Every structure is written in C-alpha cells, then in structure tokens.
Amino acid sequence: MMQWIVPLGLILVGLISGGIFEKFFLDNLKRFAAKTRLPGNDLFFYSLRGITKIWFIIAGFYGAVISLQLNGIISDKISDILQKFLTVLFLYSVTIVLARLAAGFVNLLAQRIQGISASLLSNLARIIVFVFGILTILQTLNISITPILATLGIGGLAVALAFQDTLSNLFSGLYLIISGQVRTGDYVKIETGQEGYIVDITWRNTVIKELPNNVVIVPNSKLASAIFTNYHLPAKEITLNVPVGVSYDSDLEHIEKVTIEVAKEVMQEIAPDITGFEPFLLYQNFGDHSINFTVFLRVNEFLDQRVAKHKFIKRLHRRYQQEEITIPFPSREIYMRNGE
C-alpha cells in the first residue's frame, strides 16, 4: 500500500497544480497582458484555455508511471505503453492549441483586411494543423508515415471522384476569396434574381442575406460560374439616376438650378463624406406631355439609393410646388365629330 502513496500523490499534485496555475497564475497573466493591449493577447489565452490543466495532469500521471516502474509494480513494457499513451495525449493537446492559434490568427487577419471571409480560411488552417499533428503523433509512435502517405496518394483519386462536388465547392470558394470577386459585406445580385449582402463564404456555400432578412445559400461552384453584379466593386459608391419630367412652358435654366439645389441637399444628408462629385442633370428628350431629363446623384452604397431616391422625390416635389413648377401628368385631347 505504501508503494502507491507516491504515484497517487504525484497525480494529486498534478491535478491541484493545474487548477492553481490556470485559476490564479494564468488569469493574472491574462489581466496583465490586457493592459499592454498587444494584438493577439486574447487569442493566446483562449488557445490555452483548459489545456494547461491537462498538461499538469499528464505530468502527474507521467511521474506516477515512472514511480510505479521503479518500484516494480508494473513492468517496463506496460510502463512504455503508458508513457507513449501520455505522450500522444500531450502532443494532441499541443495540436489543439496550435489549431486554435492558427484559426484565430486567420480571423484576426480577416478583421484587418476588409472583405476576407474568415470561415473557410480558418477551418482550412485548423485542418492543416491537425493533419501535421496526427503525422507527428504517428512518427512518435514509430509508425512509418511513408506508406500512409503513399496510400493516401493512391486513394486520393478515388476520394476526389467520390467527393467531386464537395471539392469543387471548396476550390471554388478559395478561388472567390483569392480573386477578390466577392468579399464579405459586398452587395451582389445574381443572374437568377437573388440579391443581398455576402455574409460568409464557407467550405461549401456562400451565404447571402437579402434585405427582407432572408438567407440565400448558393453553392460556391454555382456562384463562381454564375453571372452576377457586385455593387461594391470597384467601389461602394454608386451613381443614382432619377428620371423627371416638367411641362413645356417651364424655364429650363430655372429648373436646372432648383433641381441641383435639392440634389445637393439630399446628398449632404445621405452621403456627407462624398467629395469631388457635384450632382447634375441631363435633358433627354421631348416627351408626349413633358420635357424629360435625368438627375444624377451619388450615394455611399447600393442600399442608400432607395432612401436617397425617397428623400429626393419628396423634396423635389415640395420645392417644385413652391417654385410653381409643373410636373405634368399624361393627357389626351379628344376631338368629336358633328358635335357629338
């Protein structure tokens, strides 16, 4: 019975030390690091969350196994098996930490570079780290990875054929991200009629959020081969066209002056940060009942055009009434025979 006291004590010390380290030392270190405001502080401590306790527990069990081996309670063969098992657990926990760090750094990069979808790239980074971690574990267990890699290479063709659609969507998603054709936050309209903001690009689908708050799921391969309009490229600013018609007896110079004044007021309210653009109008044609022209304004993005058009029409209508400018409605003259 006395021979088990030291091993059990080592395990208990590992349990207690892990709890104390994570509860006090790691938390205090986290608060101290928060004061430095260095990028990645939260990510580092998030990656270690719950893992340091496991490391102390593994260390306690490792010491217990060695103690049992020295006291002759377990054979060298069993001790070797247990030590390898604990080593595998340790390497796997390290792989988890590195995978969390890799995915977290990808997310940080996505936050700094506008429009990059973090979902697909972070998952891909996590998978790569786990693959290398598993290969390292196999190498530690003296399992040759060369035959495994050869088998994977031979079976890769069969896997590619079996998961053709999945791989097509995966590589199409990577292509969309790398090419910059679509970015998260962009407003797009597909040839099939769906339109909305790009919310995320996953390993399989692109998620589009429509204005009515619906979500459209489009396979990456379909979007990569579809004809679509990205209203945020090459820039978010778009020019808004509003057709207007006035009566034939209007003073066109006065019309132009009043209309431009109203357009400037609306732009100042909707898009005050846009500089270097002055609203203007161009007369188009002599219509059946009016002289028609188009007013050109600029707004910050596609969605703003609805609000801008709403405000512009209301204010222009009120201003035309104040200026006694007539916006004619369609009319017809009917000639009757024999006084009928």
* Span 12-41, pLDDT tens digits: 888 888 778 777 777 676 666 666 665 566
Q: How far is CA 250 from CA 102, 254, 290, in A?
A: 67, 8, 10
- Residue 297: name the closest of 326, 317, 268 by CA: 268
The residue extents of the domains of the chain are: 2-143, 168-230, 238-322
How many CB atoms within 10 Å of residue 184?
19
Place of tokens 């097509």: 168
Q: CATH number for the 238-322 domain, one of 3.40.50.970, 3.20.20.370, 3.30.70.100, 3.30.70.3270? A: 3.30.70.100
- Give the pLDDT band of residue 2 (cuts 50, 70, 90): low
Give residue-wise pLDDT tens across range 281-300.
Answer: 999 999 888 999 999 999 98
Give residue-wise pLDDT tens across range 201-216.
Answer: 887 888 999 888 889 9
The mean of the pLDDT values for the chain is 82
- Residue 117: name the closest of 214, 206, 218 by CA: 206
Mean pLDDT confidence for 131-159? 71
What pLDDT, on the 0 to 100 scale, is given for residue 15?
83
For the domain made up of 168-230, give the CATH fold: SH3 type barrels. (2.30.30)
- Residue 195: name the closest of 225, 237, 231, 241 by CA: 231
